[in-house]
Each structure stands twice: as C-alpha cells, then as structure tokens.
Chains A and B, each alone.
Chain A
Amino acid sequence: MSRAFDIIESYVIDVAACLPRAQRADVAAELRSLLREEIGADTPENEVIARLRAFGRPADVAARYHPPYTLIESTDTRGFVLAAVIGALLIPPANQRLPLSVDQNTASIFFLAWLGALLLLFAAKSWAFRRWPSLSRWNPTRLRDYDAVRMIEQIPIVAILVFYEAAYLMPATVIGALSGGNIPAGVLDYTADFLNPIRMWWFALFGFALIVLEAAMIARGRWSRVTRTLEIVLFLLAGTQLGWHASYGDIFANVQAEHGARMAFQLLGAAFVLTAVLKIYREWRRLPPLEAVSVAA
C-alpha cells in the first residue's frame, strides 16, 4: 500500500473509533474509498496530511456522521452551576470552630459526591428529554407579584423576628419561660466577654432593623427596590454575625447551654444567609418594568 493510503487508513481508523459499533465498518469502507479517490495514491505525505486536516478532526467528522449525545445539555449549564453552588453552601463547613462542622477532607468528599450526583441527575434528565421529547415542553407558571406584601406571610415573619430578638436579648427570661421554668437560674446568663459591645450588640442592632423594616412593609403594603436591597443586606449581616458567634463561642459559661447556643446560632445564621441568597436569586431573575426600557423617540 502507498504511504498516502497508509495515512488515509490511520485517519479512517480514528474516525471509525468515534462512531457507534453498528455504523463503523460501513462508514469506514465508504470514507476510505472516497478519500482514496479524492487524494490519490501518489500524493506527497505532507499534502495528504494537510488535506485530511482540512477534512476535519476525526471526532468532528464522526459527529457529522452520527451526532453525539451530550451528558449535560448546554442549556442546562446554568442550572447545573447554580445547583452545584447551592449544594456547596449547604455542606457543613470545614471551620472546626463551628459546632456543626466536618474536616476538610470530608467536606471535599461531600462536594465531589454532590457534583457526581448532579452529573447523574442531569444526564438522566437529558436522556429522558431525548427519549420523551414531550417532557421538555414548556408550561406556564403562575405569576406572582413578590413586591406585594401578604399579611398572612408578613405578620408571622415579624413575629418570628421579634421572638428571635427577644430570645437573644433576654435568653434567661424567654427560653426559661418556654422550658416551663426547668432551666436553673444563671445557666442562660451571657458571659462578660459576650456582653462586650462589639460582640453581642451587632446582631441585636441588625435584628431590630429587620423587625422595623418588615413591620414598616406591613404598613406600606409594597416592597421597593431600596427596601428589597436593605432587607438582603440586613439578612446577610445578621446571618454573618450569628455565624461569627457560633464560631467564636464563649457565649454562656454553662457548657451545655454554650453548645446549644452555638448550634442554634450556626443553624439560624445559615438560614439567614440562605434567605438572603434566595432573595438575591429572585432579584437576578427580575425583569425591569416596561417603563424602564428606553425607547428611541
């Protein structure tokens, strides 16, 4: 066989390797025959290589014969990244000072396992959509005006925030009352270090500001861009502050109360931060109102 035909043969083998088994022999035979006729047996080696390179990379050529399927559709990339980030946020942190934490290696394993699970999930979705195209059909969702204040939601939010604030400022009174007086005196007294202005009072301040904001919305009836942004900032600041308390400790002198408080602060802080993340996502999805679109006169 001529050198040109040898090079063509190696190209055909590489193309065929990227094709489904059932198609390989037939496509290879036709491609070999066509390329031999196109290029010829006596063409110099470098010209043969240049012609084959112009024909396309073997994987690209194979894809033209048989379009390959994708594990994750390009249209799902945004959803995949978002799910990966949310999953990463939910993994117990690797900060060993926090009561609910895992070591660095376990956190990495959790994250990789989450990515693997997501990959399988999105691949299954992609397969199901190919198999049953009607599944991917768009359906309208009920429009919701997130700026309108709903009393049925807003009043409980204010009540919960007032409870948090009260329990934070007067743990012995509030939690003691909830326990039916079963907690001995002094167990829920803050340490002198925690009562230090730079430790305790920041969350009290952010919590109070949140209560005022949420209560004001009951009176106002509608959220605006400024109040929405303020709410997100306050949730983030309050959540971060609680996370710091959980990490730093030295809240109660009593060991059990200290452990319980740090755990509660960590969970509550995570809930505040996740609420802020959800609200940021909602802002990101928000479309500008029609009157905000500039129209050429």
Chain B
Amino acid sequence: MQKNSPDVAFRLEQELRRGVLMLAVLSQLRKDQYGYSLRQLLDAKGMAIEEGTLYPLLRRMEEQGLLHSEWKIEDGPPRRYYRRSRDGEKIYRGLATQWRGLVATVEGLMEESK
C-alpha cells in the first residue's frame, strides 16, 4: 500500500458520506427541526455530521426547494425550523427508492467479489 493510503481512504469515506448526507437530512425532516436539534438527532442515530457542513446544507436545500423553513420561538431563543416541502417530499421518496436499489446492487457486487 502507498504511504498516503489512510489519507485516500479518509477522503473516499468523506465522499461516500457526502453523497448520502442529503438523503439522511431529508429522512429526518418530516417533522420540524432546527439545525442544532437535527444534528443531535442524526448524531444519536449514528450519522454524525459536522455543524459547518450541516447548517449551510440546510440553506442550500431550502434554496433548491427541498425544504421549507420558518423562524419560531418555542422553548428558548428564536430558531429557524426546517421541514420537507411538498417537492422535497416527492424527491425524498424517489431518492429513497433509488438508494434502496443502489444498496441492493452494490451489496450484490460485493458479495460476488468475496
């Protein structure tokens, strides 16, 4: 193995995670969540995302029409809450189907190479 292989492995892992971040976020936004609570929720379910990645991602997803947001005051300071928009709902269902198909295909490929 080359000297930089741990670095390459880390970068590949990051790329792999980046590809599924949006799906993970969409999956948790059926109900209202604000950035920090969503991060904790994902973290508790084993999908740790850095805050510097998650918060801008939420904004970009909103710009793409996948999320809807509003400022609310519940138990604390004003916070911006996000949830899936109607378009986001449709896209999430499509992506989830694609994801399941992809996982099954890749699993099959990996089984073959054992």
Interface residues, chain A, with chain B CB atoms under 8 Å away? 27, 29-31, 33-34, 36-38, 54-56, 61, 64-65
Contact = CB atoms under 8 A, between A and B. Distances in A.
15 contacts: A29-B78, A30-B55, A31-B55, A33-B77, A34-B34, A34-B36, A54-B52, A55-B51, A55-B52, A56-B52, A61-B56, A64-B56, A64-B57, A65-B59, A65-B60
Given A30-B35, A31-B55, A55-B51, A36 B77 contact: yes
A29 B56 CA distance: 13
Nearest to A63: B56
A65 B35 CA distance: 14
A56 B79 CA distance: 22
A31 to B, nearest CB: 7
Given A30-B55, A30-B80, A36-B77, 8 more contacts: A27-B59, A34-B36, A38-B36, A61-B56, A64-B52, A64-B57, A65-B59, A65-B60
Contacts of B60: 64-65
B53 interface: yes
Contact of A34 (B50, B53, B55, B57): B55
Please give me the 6 A-B residue pairs with the lowest Cβ-Cβ distance, nearest first. A64-B56, A65-B56, A55-B52, A56-B52, A34-B35, A30-B80
A65 B79 CA distance: 18
Tell me the interface secondary structure of chain B in the complex: helix
Contacts of B51: 34, 38, 55
A33 B35 CA distance: 10
Contacts of A36: 77
Interface of B: 34-36, 50-53, 55-57, 59-60, 76-80
Nearest to B58: A30
Nearest to B56: A64
Given A27-B59, A30-B80, A65-B60, A37 B36 contact: yes
Contacts of B79: 33, 37
Given A30-B35, A34-B35, A34-B36, A61 B77 contact: no
B84 to A, nearest CB: 18
A34 B60 CA distance: 16
B80 A33 contact: yes
A89 B76 CA distance: 67
A37 B78 CA distance: 11
A61 B52 contact: yes
A33 B56 contact: no
Max count, chain B CB within 10 A of own CB: residue among A30, A37, A65: A30
B78 A33 contact: yes
Nearest to A34: B35
A239 to B, nearest CB: 45
Contacts of B80: 29-30, 33
A190 to B, nearest CB: 64
Contacts of A33: 77-80
Given A34-B35, A34-B36, A37-B36, A64 B53 contact: yes
B102 to A, nearest CB: 26
B111 to A, nearest CB: 28
B19 to A, nearest CB: 16
Max count, chain B CB within 10 A of own CB: residue among A29, A31, A54: A31
A25 to B, nearest CB: 12
A61 B78 CA distance: 22
Contacts of B50: 54
Contacts of A31: 55
Contacts of A38: 36, 51
